[in-house]
């Protein structure tokens, strides 16, 4: 079995065991983490704030104004839920954390409606 297939199996099992978020939410968080790491000049720790910035960007790029609705369908209602997802992945040994990483790093960092609202060009009537 490929590493990707094994990871997907583990994530599906985690989602079923926790019963809170759909597997897609865990996969999306992992994709955002991978994108954040790839965008850096040097490897290093990714903070909760950096990960949420990447989640916002990736969500906007992938789903546009519907990103908040997609996240809600996955059981993700706010940024704290992405923190819960990260810490579920840590608990399962799929991610590692530093001692100063905390769920509070993810509390109310942005509002989905505001972050993914359609932007009208300024000056247009």
> What residue segments make up the domains of the chain, in order of their start?
3-115
What is this structure's pTM? 0.90
Residue 123 scores a pLDDT above 60: no
Which residue do the tokens 């199996």 mark?
A: 9
Chain segment 66-101, per-residue pLDDT in tens:
999 999 999 999 999 999 999 999 999 999 999 999
Chain segment 36-66, per-residue pLDDT in tens:
999 999 988 999 999 999 999 999 999 999 9
Rounded to whole angstroms, how far apart are CA atoms 97 and 21?
A: 20
Least Cα distance to 46 among 93, 111, 106, 107 occurs for 106
């Amino acid at each position: 079995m490929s590493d990707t297939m094994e990871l997907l199996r583990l994530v599906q099992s985690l989602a079923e065991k926790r019963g809170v978020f759909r597997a897609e939410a865990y996969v999306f968080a992992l994709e955002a983490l991978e994108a954040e790491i790839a965008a850096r000049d040097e490897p290093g720790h990714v903070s909760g704030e950096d990960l949420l910035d990447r989640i916002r960007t990736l969500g906007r790029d992938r789903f546009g104004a519907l990103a908040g609705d997609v996240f809600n369908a996955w059981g993700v209602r706010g940024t704290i839920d992405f923190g819960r997802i990260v810490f579920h992945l840590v608990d399962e040994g799929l991610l590692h954390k530093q001692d100063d990483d905390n769920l509070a790093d993810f509390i109310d960092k942005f509002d989905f409606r505001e972050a993914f609202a359609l932007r009208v060009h300024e000056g247009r009537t």
